[in-house]
């Protein structure tokens, strides 16, 4: 099976984000099922755009992939809950800043954050989804290797 460079990048992000002070080992790539233990991080890839950079025998593609990192936490105290989420955000941003070339990427830059507060269960849950723009290059015919 051929590994796409995007897979290498997401896997490297999971490694970089595992062991942070607040979320520890609760890091889950592409998790489809409900979480059991909080706080936690969900890591996944989203949309990607690409553009030809050099016309040659095998054109060079510049790719911009969205990497999503969702912090999930719960607490009965709303101030503590928000503070926990913001602590996780800070830890994630520092970890990503220190790993700008994960999986061969040129850069991994924060592009936005979305916060959702859900109150339909026994305790409030806050989800904060950080979106990072991952820029990387591959040859047209070699998507498995970031150059």
Partner 1 sequence: MAFKENLAALVQPGLPGVKAATYAGATVYGHFWNEYTDPSGVESSAPRFGCPAANLPGVVHGSVLVIEGNTYKAVNVRADGYGWLYVRLELQP
**Span interacting with partner 1, options 15-23, 46-54, 57-65, 123-131, rule CB under 8 A:** 123-131
User: For residue 24, how many C-alpha atoms fall within 13 Å in the half-sphere facing its CB?
Assistant: 6
Instruction: Supply the minimum distance, in Å, between the C-beta of residue 34 and partner 1.
Output: 4
Residues in Cβ contact with 87 at an 8 Å cutoff, skipping those fewer than 6 apart: 21, 22
User: For residue 27, how many C-alpha atoms fall within 13 Å in the half-sphere facing its CB?
Assistant: 22
How far apart are the C-alpha atoms of 71 and 39, rounded to whole Å?
A: 7
The verdict on 122 binding partner 1 (CB under 8 A) reads yes
**Span interacting with partner 1, options 35-43, 55-63, 82-90, 92-100, rule CB under 8 A:** 35-43
Question: Of these, 34, 47, 55, 98, which contacts partner 1 (CB under 8 A)?
Answer: 34
The verdict on 76 binding partner 1 (CB under 8 A) reads yes
Q: Between 44 and 73, how does the x/- string for binding to partner 1 read (CB under 8 A)?
A: ----------------------------x-
DSSP structure class, residue 55: -
Which of residues 61 and 125 has its CB atom nearest to partner 1 in the complex? 125
Which structure tokens are listed for 38? Answer: 């909080």
Asked if residues 19 and 52 have their Cβ atoms less than 8 Å apart, the reply is no
Which structure tokens are listed for 51? Answer: 């553009």
**Would you tell me which residues interact with partner 1 (CB under 8 A)?**
34-36, 38, 72, 74, 76, 116, 118-125, 127
């Amino acid at each position: 099976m051929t590994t796409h460079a995007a897979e290498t990048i997401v896997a490297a992000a999971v490694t970089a984000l595992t062991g942070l002070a607040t979320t520890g080992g609760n890091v889950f790539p592409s998790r489809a099922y409900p979480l059991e233990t909080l706080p936690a991080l969900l890591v996944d890839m989203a949309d990607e755009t690409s553009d030809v950079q050099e016309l040659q025998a095998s054109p060079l593609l510049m790719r911009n992939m969205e990497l999503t990192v969702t912090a999930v936490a719960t607490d009965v105290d709303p101030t503590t809950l928000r503070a926990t989420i913001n602590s996780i955000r800070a830890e994630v941003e520092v970890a990503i800043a220190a790993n700008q070339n994960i999986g061969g990427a040129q850069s991994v830059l924060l592009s936005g954050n979305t916060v959702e507060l859900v109150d339909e269960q026994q305790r409030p849950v806050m989800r904060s989804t950080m979106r990072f723009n991952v820029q990387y290059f591959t040859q047209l015919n070699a998507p498995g290797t970031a150059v």
